[in-house]
Structure 1
Amino acid sequence: MAWRLEKKQAVRGLSRLLLASVAGGVLSLGGFGTQAYAQAPSAVLLEHVRLFDGTGTAEQDDMAVLVQGPRIISVGHSGHVKAPKGAQRIDLSGKTLIPGLITDHSHVGVVSGTSVGAENFTAPVIKAALDQYERYGVTTVTALGLTKSPLFDDLRRAQHADGATGADLFGVDQGIGVPGGMPPEGMVKVGKDQIFRPATVAEAQQAVRTMASEHTDLVKLWVDDFRNGVASQKPLPVMKPEIWQAAITEAHNQKLRVAVHIHDLDYGKRLVAAGADIIAHGVRDEPVDGPFVTALKDRGVWYIPTISLDEATYLFAEQPEILNDPVLKAGLNADLQKQFSDPAWRQKVAASPLAKASHAAVAMNQKNLLTLYQAGVKIGFGTDSGAAPVRIPGFAEHRELRLLVEAGLTPLQALTLATSQAAALLNLSDRGVIAPGKRADFVILEADPAENIAAVDQIAAVWRGGVRAAGPLVPR
């Protein structure tokens, strides 16, 4: 993805402070908080490790990966990769190395604890979320809208810098919703400066031009009545076709791609016909059909299932024993712990019409994902984590991998979606695979994910930009 940098004084100062802090071994960036990082030597040879390189090919045993600075220098069998004099050697016998996970659909600065609203779009809240993603092995995050400029733009640039801590950050400036409609103002509660809600074609075109001037990575549209499969739910107003067409056309004029939030097959078809580049949620109301599959393939449209979005609606209410899972506890704050432990909350959620509809949505989403995958449609990886308190950054991505495997993918196929395919959706050629010249973003696992996808929970260490950044996820 081409990255266009503005030479703003504030950004230069932010980047200098970030790099100076990392050089000292500690990040201390104003409200970002403080986090110690291991100081990387000039070169590190990771050897005797089982390697999944992200390309979809079989794992290889007894491999070595040479890292110098933020990049991978060499990959080969142990004993055949030459390390420079003085390089640190790390024996990873029995462990598995995979690329850092990449989410194509998440959100930052919307949620803090159990609260949702504009007050959460702050540097400390966002940085804490990026640090949490990193601890779970998610090294690149795409915030698909509901952001605020210039703060989001400054944070994004800072996260791109070599030596930055926490997950790298890409995303959508603001995004385009509907007056009185999606995303629902009463639920999301973001500020008016975090989303555009154009009522006319001219307003839609201007919204896209504003986003382009802020160097947004993508344009995001919400096209959904928000009934979520609940027949008794009153529908919200839906974006008019002339508005979405104007936004898509203007985005393409600005050389920007468009990601669209949908729930139903009908809107999916209509938006693909209008030129949408990315379907940002799976179709959940009915089985996908031949014309839709053909349209996705012929137009090269990407499809992000986000299966765990609906599972999160009922998971913590219906499975209270999951609160004992140390992998969940690693990302669970006190407010959420209290909410999930409340029997009244669990009973209310489990008995709601939305919970029943969400079960059906997960099953339909999985069925459609497998159909599209087997048909050769381009599939990305995302969860909508960070958009609601129950969609927990990092943990949601681990759940998504399980749900992809439950849908019929092999563990390595699911991991391929979350690494090289997710990078390809973003047009990022520098990550998502373990190969010479690529970013040294990777995760070291205690177990083999090819045998059981749950191995992704057993994180021994996370490396981000050639530096050991976090781990283990669960203290041993």
Structure 2
Amino acid sequence: MRLPIPRVAALAVAGVVSWTMSGTPALAQPASQPASRATVLQGARIIDGSGAAPLENGSIVIRNGRIESVARAGAAPPAGATIVDLRGKTVMPALIAGHAHLGLTNGTSAGAKNVTEDNVVRQLQKYMKYGIGTVAVFGTDHDFIYGLRARQQAGKLAAPAILTAGHGFGVPDGAPPAKMGIDQVYRPTTIAQVDKDIAELAANKPDLVKIWVDDFGDKSTRKMDPALYREVIVQAHKHGLKVAAHVFYLEDAKRLARDSIDIFGHSVRDKPVDAELIGLMKKNRISYIPTLDLDEAFYVYADKPEWMGQPFFRQALDPGVWEWLHSPAYKVKEQSRKDFSVAQRNVRALHAAGIPVGLGTDSGATIARIQGFAEHRELELLTQAGLTPMQALQAGTAVNAAILGVDKERGSLAAGKQADILVLDANPLDDIRNTRKIHGVWLRGVLVSGER
């Protein structure tokens, strides 16, 4: 993987990265470059995200930030097009981080004090270098996120697309716990307050809504009143917004499913999922983002896995985090080994039952959930849970796009879609860990990281 970028010169002819006065890279169109000129990515193996067999020796024509065509190489390229030779490479859609958090950590510090625009942009660009084209932030954003989202959409910020839940819904003296230092959360106590908060949130045009309903495994912590989260779901749906829930317990999941939640943002981890929950999820078209990496991160660093010594992991760490992971400050939670085992079995059961399973990690919520790396580790954990490499790739691309309601724009390589593309030096269908062999990252048709 080549990380000492984003590049600021000699980028794809569809655009370049320039630097704004604030010091953050922006996408800009060079004056001498006609906006309509095409770029052709030629000769690669194409995994389009749909689950179809790869297209060998393929060609992708990009124009104005979008995919114009995907076909077998051989046809004459458009007049004046720039040809990018990708023979021997594998091309796939850029990944979608289906459950993440921005700004909460900075080095070995965690909490709301770190949520600044500069820190959020820095973290977005880390995701970008790791091949992630869209980041869904689940309920911990400050209001400046809407301005960043607009800048990215306008091509003025070189960063993944932002999907934000704005301020999530939690519980007074409950989840998310005060010790996490998350201050940007609604904590209603009445139906009227829920209605007021949803109206305020909806005015900002978030992409979804997040609720925390469980007790984070602490029986002394208050859980959300079902009447309140039912009202959040009802009011959010009136505004055309999907709702994602932080869950742990099977019984909470069943109640949420009866109330037509849209997304489980974590795994059920106390018990095996049963036929009743599966039936409710099918009936109400509920999706599942298991965040297996979340539970693993509570103990895995103490086990010293081989990947901890590899550059792909080490380069994702903020200064001081390597030392922190090897210090007493990193506290192993042995219960999470059991939770992880249950979570993997439940992913296997739900996927086998036809429930849409997406890729998310909760990366960025704590120091140990490493942004960028976690998403690639999650792909591997999904295959260990029983998904094939192709199914895991779909979880991180087309399935996630459908879960999050952005499948018309991204998630697969098809004509009309945004040209968010990950170029790899090896085939992830042979070994899912090959997604870590990143050759280049293209967002909106522009090479933003790596090599041509």
- Equivalent residues of 1:386, 1:392 under 8 A apart: yes
Residue in 1 aligned with 2:404?
426
Matched, 1:56 2:51: yes
- Equivalent residues of 2:422, 2:442 under 8 A apart: yes
Residue in 2 aligned with 1:324?
309
Gaps of 5+ in 1: 1-21, 228-232
Supply the AA of the counterpart residue of 1:26. S
Deviation at 1:85, TM superposition (A): 2.1
Q: Provide the rounded CA distance (Å) in 2 between the counterparts of 1:158 and 1:34.
A: 11
- CA offset digits 1:271-324 (Å, max 9, x no partner): 111121111111111110001001001111111111111111112222165442
1:46 and 1:34, CA in 2 relative to 1: closer, same or farther beyond 3 A?
A: closer
Supply the AA of the counterpart residue of 1:328. F
Deviation at 1:23, TM superposition (A): 6.9
1:310 and 1:326, CA in 2 relative to 1: closer, same or farther beyond 3 A?
A: same
Q: Provide the rounded CA distance (Å) in 2 between the counterparts of 1:305 and 1:422.
A: 12
Pairing of 1:347-358 with structure 2 (within 5 A): 349-350=331-332, 354=333, 356-358=334-336
Deviation at 1:25, TM superposition (A): 3.9
Residue in 1 aligned with 2:9?
none
Q: Between the two proteins, what is the percent identity of the paired residues?
A: 37
Q: Provide the rounded CA distance (Å) in 2 between the counterparts of 1:272 and 1:94.
A: 46
Supply the AA of the counterpart residue of 2:422. V
Residue in 1 aligned with 2:24?
33
Q: Provide the rounded CA distance (Å) in 2 between the counterparts of 1:280 and 1:69.
A: 34
Residue in 2 aligned with 1:213?
203
Pairing of 1:126-165 with structure 2 (within 5 A): 126-149=120-143, 151-162=144-155, 164-165=157-158
Pairing of 1:198-277 with structure 2 (within 5 A): 198-227=188-217, 233-277=218-262
For residue 133 of structure 1, give the secondary structure of its aligned residue in structure 2: helix
1:23 and 1:46, CA in 2 relative to 1: closer, same or farther beyond 3 A?
A: closer
Aligned length: 434
Supply the AA of the counterpart residue of 1:45. V
Pairing of 1:70-469 with structure 2 (within 5 A): 70-80=65-75, 82-149=76-143, 151-162=144-155, 164-186=157-179, 188-191=180-183, 194-227=184-217, 233-319=218-304, 321-342=306-327, 344-345=328-329, 349-350=331-332, 354=333, 356-428=334-406, 429-469=408-448
Supply the AA of the counterpart residue of 1:56. G
Q: TM-score, normalised by structure 2?
A: 0.92
Deviation at 1:345, TM superposition (A): 4.1
Q: Provide the rounded CA distance (Å) in 1 between the counterparts of 2:103 and 2:26.
A: 19
RMSD: 2.0
- Equivalent residues of 1:208, 1:251 under 8 A apart: yes
- CA offset digits 1:175-232 (Å, max 9, x no partner): 100000100011x2123xx1111111211221111111111111111011111xxxxx
Which has the larger helix fraction? 1
Deviation at 1:340, TM superposition (A): 1.9
Q: TM-score, normalised by structure 1?
A: 0.87
- Compare 463-472 and 176-185 and name the one that shifted more: 463-472
Q: Provide the rounded CA distance (Å) in 2 between the counterparts of 1:38 and 1:336.
A: 37
1:451 and 1:169, CA in 2 relative to 1: closer, same or farther beyond 3 A?
A: same
